Structure 1
Amino acid sequence: MEALRVLELYSGIGGMHYALKESGLPFQVVAAIDINTTANEIYKHNFPDTPLWNKTIEGIQLDDFNRLSFDMILMSPPCQPFTRIGLQGDIADPRTKSFLYILDLLPRLCRLPRFILLENVKGFECSTARERLVTTLKECGYIYQEIMMSPTSVGIPNSRLRYYLIAVISTEKSSRPMTSKITDAPSRPAQNDPVVEGTPPEQLPVSGPANQETCPPADDKQGDNVLYKLETPMDAQRKKDQNMDLSVRQIQDFLEPQTEVNMENHLLPPKTLLRYALLLDIVRPTCRRSVCFTKGYGRYVEGTGSVLQSCTEIEMESVFKDLEEYSEEEKLQQLMKLKLRYFTPREVANLMGFPQSFSFPKHIATKQQYRVLGNSLNIVVVARLLQLMVS
């Protein structure tokens, strides 16, 4: 197969580029485009030979895109206009402007790219932006498939449910029916079980409840029907059930060696423990779950990602039981027994599928590392979808 010429839009820290490498497909990134200066520094640090354009997409002319002569577009447009906890401004949000520009540009290209892959948050599938996307794809003669997929479906213990669209230009030789049906994650194919070319998207194999936002929890010792945090019995049972899924690896497979982690730098401070103890999502190394890491991880606590219980000899139930009856000082003594710490940026990167070759320039602060990782994507998931799309 000839090397695919790839245009990487909203390139960030290079998640799509790493997914291409992980997929095993022959490729050349002809241009990566982003305006985030920190992300661009990290991208350039890891891919020094890739042309990186620090420009707004809508500031690039049609002729400039035509000169690149690309076979594939990979893109992860800004998610803020579509996220469920945001204002959901959709196409009225100024941050959607560049994406609408791409849709306007696509039919006017001298040569349509053969493949398009888009990633965004859950919520995009209900947007007007998505309607415009699929309308444009149909008008240009693409077949497409929409998929909701989380890393747990590829064995990674992290919940990061995302919307994906893969599109292939239709030809007379292989034309497949279009679908607007959104499926769950494609199952992992057996070693000698390739996806059959020409399979209608609605008939592709799907696996399990990949669309659950929360993934699997700590081991059975942890809270036998005792609610030690602010969670419902249903939450506790779901976490317990998910942790029984042996197709998902354990958290400890993704941790840095203890000798390389400065525990003191990552422990939760006393103020955070006292204020947010009942809201923390706590996992142990033997867990097969963690919640989605966002760009606010390390700065904010609620809903930004899981924290790790470093001292596993202590039962979490014994710490949280009757905690509210203690004085503030006693509460703190109890909570500190668990040695709760943040995952390091390297560990978050591991859970997002970044290879060991990925690194940050030395001057990038930890807070910035968490921020750009929270804005990135899961590489293993995208690699699987790239393989599915090109097959």
Structure 2
Amino acid sequence: MEGLRVLELYSGIGGMHFALKESGTPAQVVAAIDINTTANQIYKHNFPDTPVWNKTIEGITLDDFNKLSVDMIMMSPPCQPFTRLGLQGDIADPRTKSFLYILDLLPRLHKQPQFILLENVKGFESSSARERLVQTLMGCGYIFQEFMISPTTVGIPNSRLRYFLIAKISAENVSIQTKSKVFSAAPHPAQSEVPSDLSPPRPNPDQPVEKTHGGQVLFKLESLVEVQRKVSQNNDLSVRQLQDFLEPLTEENLKHYLLAPKTLLRYGLILDIVQPECRRSVCFTKGYGRYVEGTGSVLQCCRETEIESVFTGLDQLSEKDKLEQLLKLKLRYFTPREVANLMGFPPIFSFPKSISTAQQYKVLGNSLNVVVVARLLQLLLSEHFGCSDGGEELSVF
């Protein structure tokens, strides 16, 4: 295959560009477009030879798109109109305007891109925006497949359930849909992912902190279902352990990532605590490091202390004693490099020195999993794409 000319819309920090390289696809990103100046700075730092356009997509004319003459469009439109925690404004949300603009331009391009890849949050699959997308693709003669995929599918211990669509111009130029439904590539139905735009499931507020159920002590504010789900995930040997994604930290560096005493006291009972041997972690969001609830897992560094011994009966202690107990676990945030590792970014990815830790967490939380996208690109560019029946398993996963 000759090198593809690729346009990266809503390019962020370059996750899709890295996925192109990871997939082994001969390609040139002819333009990366985003309005986030911090993300653009990071993108340019990692891909200095790629033109980065710091402008709104609506500000790019049809003539501009035609001049680019691209073979593939990769995009991750704003997710806020579709998240379950948001207002779910869908196509009425002003942030959807740029995506609708793209859908309007697509049929009018002199040369329609042969391939399209789109990523968004869970919730997009049932949106009016998705209906507009499907109608546009079918009208332009694309065949396509849709998926709900989490990185656990490719052996990465992080839950980040996302909607993906891959599309290809049909050789027969017929308007058909390859799959009649969104395909779930999750390996085990019993291990359903927590929607990544949500906080972890909250228990009944009347449930006591410590409760015995069939020999299982619920020592934190967790439902029995939540505990069982975590145990099930940690027993899935197809997923790697977190320790494979951690970086060595000196005691001095470690201090920068330890949870503050006031954070421990206020949020200790709802923290998602993991150990290096775990095969799971919850989705890291853009608020990680600044906010605690529902923004990502924290790591237990002191393995000599049993977590049950800390939390059992914790609600009966004074504030001073509570803190003393919680500090025994030596809980810390994952570093930005570790979050990047769990999102599939290669070792060569780096941040400019001017980007603060808070900014690093924020842009990572807005990004995507590189390995998942790379696998989808391999499927999209394979000779068999669009040829199998709807019930066939996906070989790339």
Q: Normalized against structure 1, the TM-score is what?
A: 0.90
Q: Deviations over 1:275-309 (max 9, x none)?
A: 00011000000000000000000010000000000
Which of 213, 220, 242 is the aligned partner of 2:194? 213
| 8 Å CA contact retained: 1:184, 1:211 | no
Residue 77 of structure 1 aligns with which residue?
77
Q: 1:81 to 1:175 in 2, by over 3 A?
A: closer
* 2:2 equivalent to 1:18: no
| 8 Å CA contact retained: 2:142, 2:176 | no
Moved more, 373-382 or 164-173: 164-173
Q: Deviations over 1:38-77 (max 9, x none)?
A: 0000000000000111110000000110011100000000
Quote how far apart the aligned CAs of 1:180 are: 3.2
Mapped partners of 2:147, 2:167: distance in 1 = 11
Residue 218 of structure 1 aligns with which residue?
none
1:383 maps to a residue whose letter is A
Mapped partners of 2:77, 2:176: distance in 1 = 27
| 8 Å CA contact retained: 1:268, 1:342 | yes
Residue 257 of structure 2 aligns with which residue?
266
Mapped partners of 2:149, 2:174: distance in 1 = 26
| 8 Å CA contact retained: 1:149, 1:211 | no
Quote how far apart the aligned CAs of 1:214 are: 7.4
Q: 1:177 to 1:84 in 2, by over 3 A?
A: closer
Q: 1:361 to 1:274 in 2, by over 3 A?
A: same
Q: Deviations over 1:341-380 (max 9, x none)?
A: 0000000000000011000000101000000000000000
Residue 138 of structure 1 aligns with which residue?
138
* 2:85 equivalent to 1:94: no
* 2:347 equivalent to 1:356: yes
Quote how far apart the aligned CAs of 1:12 are: 0.3
| 8 Å CA contact retained: 1:83, 1:123 | yes
What is the identity percentage for the equivalent residue pairs of Structure 1 and Structure 2? Answer: 75
Mapped partners of 2:256, 2:227: distance in 1 = 30
| 8 Å CA contact retained: 1:45, 1:361 | yes
Is the partner of 1:295 in helix, strand or coil? Answer: coil
Is the partner of 1:143 in helix, strand or coil? Answer: strand
Mapped partners of 1:92, 1:175: distance in 2 = 27
Q: Normalized against structure 2, the TM-score is what?
A: 0.89
Q: 1:138 to 1:176 in 2, by over 3 A?
A: closer
* 2:285 equivalent to 1:294: yes
Residue 200 of structure 2 aligns with which residue?
none
| 8 Å CA contact retained: 1:161, 1:211 | no
Moved more, 260-269 or 146-155: 260-269
Mapped partners of 1:16, 1:277: distance in 2 = 36
Q: 1:68 to 1:260 in 2, by over 3 A?
A: farther
Q: 1:250 to 1:371 in 2, by over 3 A?
A: same
1:115 maps to a residue whose letter is F
Q: 1:105 to 1:214 in 2, by over 3 A?
A: closer
Residue 244 of structure 2 aligns with which residue?
253
Mapped partners of 2:16, 2:178: distance in 1 = 25
Mapped partners of 1:101, 1:231: distance in 2 = 44
| 8 Å CA contact retained: 2:141, 2:174 | no
Mapped partners of 1:94, 1:130: distance in 2 = 16
Mapped partners of 1:275, 1:148: distance in 2 = 34
Mapped partners of 1:278, 1:207: distance in 2 = 30
2:263 maps to a residue whose letter is T
| 8 Å CA contact retained: 2:297, 2:333 | yes
Quote how far apart the aligned CAs of 1:238 are: 1.1
Residue 217 of structure 2 aligns with which residue?
226
Residue 150 of structure 1 aligns with which residue?
150
Which of 330, 333, 344 is the aligned partner of 1:339? 330
Mapped partners of 2:53, 2:68: distance in 1 = 12
Q: 1:173 to 1:300 in 2, by over 3 A?
A: closer
Alignment of 1:177-188 (within 5 A): 178-185=178-185
Is the partner of 1:258 in helix, strand or coil? Answer: coil
Quote how far apart the aligned CAs of 1:178 are: 2.8
Which of 369, 376, 380 is the aligned partner of 1:385? 376
Quote how far apart the aligned CAs of 1:174 are: 10
Quote how far apart the aligned CAs of 1:258 are: 2.9
Query: Matched residue pairs, number?
Result: 364
Quote how far apart the aligned CAs of 1:333 are: 0.2
| 8 Å CA contact retained: 2:289, 2:333 | yes
Q: 1:41 to 1:261 in 2, by over 3 A?
A: farther
Residue 67 of structure 2 aligns with which residue?
67
Mapped partners of 2:251, 2:43: distance in 1 = 24
| 8 Å CA contact retained: 2:139, 2:175 | no
Is the partner of 1:226 in helix, strand or coil? Answer: strand
| 8 Å CA contact retained: 1:150, 1:211 | no
Unpaired segments of 5 or more residues in structure 1?
186-205, 216-222
Quote how far apart the aligned CAs of 1:260 are: 8.5
Quote how far apart the aligned CAs of 1:134 are: 0.2
Is the partner of 2:288 in helix, strand or coil? Answer: coil
Moved more, 175-184 or 356-365: 175-184
Residue 319 of structure 1 aligns with which residue?
310
Mapped partners of 1:45, 1:332: distance in 2 = 42
Quote how far apart the aligned CAs of 1:213 are: 2.1
Mapped partners of 1:225, 1:78: distance in 2 = 42
